[in-house]
């Protein structure tokens, strides 16, 4: 029996299911049969970037964490004596290639993204910065998931911290961090 015959047969029935829908403004709805009900559940929705996030978070004296807006501001980079930028975002231009050393580790901010090789590579880059007394900025698009994951991974791999210790160090420096659940699972397995 081919697929078309199967779905048109009288014996073929799809199981009823509920679908959860999250809107851009963070509202959550449950779609069930022919009804749509809004539920009292909080969701982040999508982040709308209305102004630059120029917060430079100091994790260690030489290690900084930020959004994509900081590495686009040469005065801020100079103020913090940043000479190395580790870019974990996608589609973000490295602007000051004459005066700043860049490393690109492109990660998708999705739970299915395997991060082990990226953590190994980025941890080696960060260790090299520490050994050579170079200030390094790690960033992604928002400075919330990917860049935070890289810094937490570095603290686990090179500084031998537990996930909880590393997370606490990073969240103390930048309270808005929120690594996605897939990243958290992989970090806890290190």
Please give the positions annotated as active site.
140
Q: CB-based burial of residue 100 (10 Å sphere; 0-12 exposed, 13-18 middle, 19+ buried)? A: middle
Instruction: Tell me which residue has tokens 């801020």.
Output: 76
Contacts of 108 (CB under 8 A, 6+ apart): 90
């Amino acid at each position: 029996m081919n697929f078309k015959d199967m779905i048109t047969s009288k014996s073929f029935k799809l199981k009823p299911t509920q679908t959860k829908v999250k809107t851009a403004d963070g509202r959550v709805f449950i779609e069930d049969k022919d009804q749509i009900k809004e539920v009292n559940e909080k969701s982040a929705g999508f982040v709308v970037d209305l102004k630059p996030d120029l917060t430079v978070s100091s994790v260690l004296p030489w290690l900084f964490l930020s959004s994509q807006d900081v590495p686009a501001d040469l005065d801020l980079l100079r103020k913090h004596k940043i000479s190395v930028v580790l870019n974990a975002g996608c589609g973000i231009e490295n602007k000051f290639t004459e005066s700043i050393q860049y490393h690109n580790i492109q990660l998708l901010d999705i739970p299915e993204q395997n991060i082990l090789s990226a953590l190994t590579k980025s941890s080696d880059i960060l260790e090299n910065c520490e050994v050579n007394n170079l200030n390094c900025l790690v960033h992604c698009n928002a400075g919330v998931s990917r860049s935070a994951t890289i810094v937490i991974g570095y603290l686990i791999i090179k500084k031998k911290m537990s996930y909880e210790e590393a997370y606490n160090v990073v969240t103390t420096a930048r309270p808005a961090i929120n690594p996605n659940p897939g990243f958290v699972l992989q970090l806890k397995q290190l």
